[in-house]
Structure 1
Amino acid sequence: MCLWAAHRDRRQPRNLQSLRPLLRRVARRARRTVTRYAVVGGGMLGLTLALHLADEGHEVEILEASDRIGGLAAGWTLGDTSWDRFYHVTLESDTNTRAILDRLGIVPISASAETGVFAEGKLYPITTNIDFLRFPMLSPADKFRFGLTILRGAYARDGEAFEQIPVETWLTRWSGKRTFERFWLPLLRSKLGDAYRDTSAAFIWATIQRLYAARSERGNQERFGYIPGGYVRVLAALSDHLTSRGVAIRTGIRVDSVGTSGDAIEIKLDSGQTEIYDRAIVTAAGPLASRICVDLPDQERQALADLPYLGVVCASVLLRRQLSPYYVTNLVDPAPFTGVIEMSNLVDPAELNGNHLVYLPKYVRPDDPLFDQDDETIRREFIDGLTAIHPDLTGADVVAFQVARARYVMAIPTISYSKRIPPFSTSNPNLFLVNSAQIVNGTLNVNETVGLANRAAADIL
Structure 2
Amino acid sequence: MNKQRIAVLGAGPMGLAVAYQLARDGYHPTVFEADDRIGGMTAAFDFSGLSIERYYHFHCISDHAFLMMLDELALADKMHWVETKMGYWYQGRLQPWGNPVALLKFKGLSLAAKFRYGLHAFLCTKRNDWKPLDHVEASGWIKRWVGAEAYEVLWRRLFDYKFYDYTDNLSAAWIWSRIRRIGRSRYSLFREKLGYLEGGSETLLQAMRADIEAHGGEIRLKSAISKVVIEEGQVRGVEVAGHIEMFDKVISTIPLPYVPRLMPDLPADILDSFRLINNIAVVCVIVKLRKALTGNFWLNTNDPEMDIPGLVEYSNLRPLDQHIVYVPFYMPGEHPKFAESDQVFLDKVRSYLKKINPELSDEDFIELRSSRYRYAQPICDPGYLDKLPPVALPVKGLWVADTSYYYPEDRGISESIGFGRKMAKDAMV
Shorter-chain TM band:
over 0.9
Query: Is the CA contact 2:235–2:250 (under 8 Å) kept in the aligned structure 1?
Result: no
Three-state SS of the structure 1 residue aligned to 2:186 is coil
Distance 1:173 1:346 in 2: 34
Distance 1:276 1:114 in 2: 52
253-262 vs 284-293, greater mean Cα deviation: 253-262
> Which residue is equivalent to 2:62?
93
Distance 1:203 1:383 in 2: 32
Q: Say whether residues 1:256 and 2:223 are aligned partners.
A: no
Select 1:123's aligned residue among 86, 94, 105: 94
Q: Say whether residues 1:199 and 2:170 are aligned partners.
A: yes
Deviation at 1:261, TM superposition (A): 4.7
> Which residue is equivalent to 2:155?
184
Deviation at 1:51, TM superposition (A): 1.0
Deviation at 1:373, TM superposition (A): 2.7
> Which residue is equivalent to 2:312?
341
Deviations along 1:122-145, whole A, 9 cap, x unmatched?
A: 110013321111001111111111
Distance 1:67 1:89 in 2: 24
Query: Is the CA contact 1:78–1:401 (under 8 Å) kept in the aligned structure 2?
Result: no
39-48 vs 446-455, greater mean Cα deviation: 446-455
Select 1:147's aligned residue among 84, 108, 118: 118
Higher RCO by CA contacts (8 Å cutoff, separation 6 or greater): 2
Distance 1:448 1:113 in 2: 22
Structure index of larger Rg: 1
Distance 1:51 1:195 in 2: 36
Select 1:105's aligned residue among 74, 84, 87: 74
Deviation at 1:204, TM superposition (A): 2.3
Distance 1:307 1:144 in 2: 37
Alignment gaps of 5+ in structure 2: none
> Which residue is equivalent to 1:417?
384
Aligned residues: 424
> Which residue is equivalent to 1:280?
250
4+ residue runs of structure 1 moved beyond 6 angstroms? none
Deviation at 1:376, TM superposition (A): 2.0
298-307 vs 365-374, greater mean Cα deviation: 365-374
Query: Is the CA contact 2:285–2:370 (under 8 Å) kept in the aligned structure 1?
Result: yes
Distance 2:236 2:373 in 1: 28
Alignment gaps of 5+ in structure 1: 1-28
1:13-412 equivalence runs, <5 A: 34-107=3-76, 108-216=79-187, 218-261=188-231, 264-269=235-240, 271-334=241-304, 335-349=306-320, 354-412=321-379
Distance 1:53 1:454 in 2: 8
Deviations along 1:200-249, whole A, 9 cap, x unmatched?
A: 21132111110111101x22111000010111222121111111111110
152-161 vs 205-214, greater mean Cα deviation: 152-161
Distance 2:308 2:102 in 1: 24
Distance 2:338 2:211 in 1: 35
Deviations along 1:422-450, whole A, 9 cap, x unmatched?
A: 21111211111021111211111111111
What amino acid does structure 2 have at the position aligned with 1:94? D
Query: Is the CA contact 1:114–1:328 (under 8 Å) kept in the aligned structure 2?
Result: yes
Query: Is the CA contact 1:166–1:197 (under 8 Å) kept in the aligned structure 2?
Result: yes
Distance 1:298 1:386 in 2: 49
Deviation at 1:312, TM superposition (A): 1.4
> Which residue is equivalent to 2:402?
435
298-307 vs 98-107, greater mean Cα deviation: 98-107
Three-state SS of the structure 2 residue aligned to 1:89 is coil
Query: Is the CA contact 1:113–1:345 (under 8 Å) kept in the aligned structure 2?
Result: yes
Query: Is the CA contact 1:315–1:401 (under 8 Å) kept in the aligned structure 2?
Result: yes
Distance 1:88 1:40 in 2: 23
Deviation at 1:187, TM superposition (A): 1.8
CA RMSD of aligned residues (A): 1.5
Distance 1:154 1:38 in 2: 39
Three-state SS of the structure 1 residue aligned to 2:348 is helix
Normalised to the residue count of structure 1, the TM-score between the two structures is 0.89
Distance 1:432 1:400 in 2: 42
